[in-house]
Chain A
Amino acid sequence: MSLDRSDVERIAHLARLAMNENEAPEYTESLNSILTLIDQLQATSTDGVEPLAHPMDAVQRLRADEVSELNQRDALQACAPAVENGLFLVPKVIE
């Protein structure tokens, strides 16, 4: 499986990464070399093997439904790039 430039551009778009003219060929090349590496998996038969999602053989813990987090808006917004009236500002959202 080998990616061409349009594949790489589609992936970059899905990942919301801008890519300029010079970068596209570089990323195409390095992604292809990584794909060659990971394609080694295909040679191994995994029929009937249960996928392992997590190394922890444990079950989800449950949290009591009690309010533990009080308003800390000022502290939490101290690093925000753009805030007004307690709202995070972003370019206009069009629905």
Chain B
Amino acid sequence: MEWEVVIGLEIHAQLATNTKIFSGASTAFGAEPNTQACAVDLALPGTLPVFNENALRMAVMFGLAVNSEIGKRSVFDRKNYFYPDLPKGYQTTQLAEPIVGPGYVDIETDDGDTRRVRIHHAHLEEDAGKSLHEDFHGMSGIDLNRAGTPLVEIVSEPDMRSSKEAAAYARKIHAIITTLGICDGNMAEGSMRCDCNVSIRPKGQATLGTRTELKNINSFRFIERAINTEVARQIDLIEDGGRVIQETRLYDPDKNETRSMRSKEEANDYRYFPCPDLLPVIIDDAYIDAIRAELPELPDARRARFIEQYGLSDYDAGVLSSDRAQADYFETVAELTKNAKLSANWITGELARLLNQADMTVKQSPVSADQLAGLINRIQDNTITGKIAKNVFELLWNEGGSADEIIAAKGLKQVNDTGAIEAAIDQVIAQCTTQVEQYIAAEPDKRGKMLGFFMGQVMKLTQGKANPGQVQGVLKQKLDQRC
């Protein structure tokens, strides 16, 4: 049987506010346990919530960025359940009247098409604390620093049909929230968390199959892997005559498997009701318009502009626009070098390679956009060769300074002197008699390929400094003279 996969995502994004959604405690990551949990966050008797204006502003920004209707009236509800990381015994969230109504984003599929993923709604809520499972004499430790951190929960429609689409959607949301600056997007630290609702159905069937909810997915790669694993499990299960049970499953990236979360199996009755400690949040068109006016250029628009303005490929434009810092970096380099294509190559090539190795983001890059542009400009004016430039880049990365300083200090300047180049070529031709003979013997249309060997020898002899264009011209001329 041919199966169709149906996926919907619930993405939780921690908003990059200074303080909690309902208290004045800091939201900074990594503090000592419970040092950023104030009386309100600990749910001390008599404490009350007051709503953070910045959380509201950021949620509205998100809604505008995903083409949503903004809730001019939104209401906080209580979701009641007992858990040690939930100090009040209820989570303050939004159920019936969320701040962000239906919207959509477009994702690009591998075959170059775009697919529209509808957003059902997005709502504001408070994060829970953390249970630490190191052994405290058989007990767990509760850290409430994270309790009350503002979250926007983005709920998609079940519009995705493959794990790749799901990852592409998650990347698009990531690009939007980081471009807006409302979330740092760090999945490893849990700033952005992704729950995947996965079901399968026979191709052509209209009704949805029973879904499972996958939790604990903390990278884009794991989104794909977790879904693929779960889809395979569901297919096996059904084809063996079994049934999928609606449940929450935990993804284990080490074993690449999903397993049932027994603790969440018990049927919950959350007893939602409007939170009587908070009043309806009312905003008007003027408020929304003011936010709209200040929205930065969004990833889709920037991508289109990169193609249009800089002549970048779809791929490069997509990669560079997916992260605001990276896109800004690119534009600075392209501006300074007047060579967008070469700038894009360096950023998606060498820079990305070293950043990946060091597990850093563009923001943390030791080579600034100015430094990289300085390097590219020396390639463009033939001061150095592309090969030497890679060495200079590593020196910039490790030791800092400017490309000019490094080129001067290390004597890496390209050799453009025809006399010196000719001398080197003559030396190579004299030494490599066998290869020269082969060259002469070859069919003329094969000779071009054979030129590479002599190029390499000449570059080696000149320590990579010879102007490759010049070398190629003179080399071809001298060899062809012998034929």
Contact = CB atoms under 8 A, between A and B. Distances in A.
To the question of whether A and B form a pair in one complex, the answer is yes
B19 interface: yes
A42 interface: no
A56 B280 CA distance: 10
A60 B281 contact: yes
A59 B23 CA distance: 18
Interface in A46-64: 53-54, 56, 58-64
Contact of B50 (A61, A91, A93): A61
Interface in B276-310: 276, 278-282
Interface of A is mostly: loop
Interface string B24-39: 1110000011111111
A93 B131 CA distance: 7
A21 interface: no
B139 interface: yes
Interface size band for B: 35 or more
A61 B23 CA distance: 13
A90 B39 contact: no
A1 interface: no
B54 interface: yes
A45 interface: no
Given A85-B141, A88-B34, A92-B138, A14 B269 contact: yes
Contact of B26 (A53, A67, A76, A95): A67
Contacts of B132: 87
B322 to A, nearest CB: 27
A69 B25 contact: yes
A62 B263 CA distance: 37
A85 B138 contact: no
A60 B287 CA distance: 15
Nearest to A87: B141
A71 interface: yes
A62 B34 contact: no
Contact of B34 (A16, A86, A95): A86
Contacts of A61: 50-51, 279
> Which 5 residue pairs across A and B have the least CB separation, nearest first?
A87-B141, A68-B24, A65-B54, A69-B38, A62-B53
Given A54-B279, A60-B278, A76-B42, 5 more contacts: A59-B279, A68-B24, A76-B37, A92-B138, A94-B263
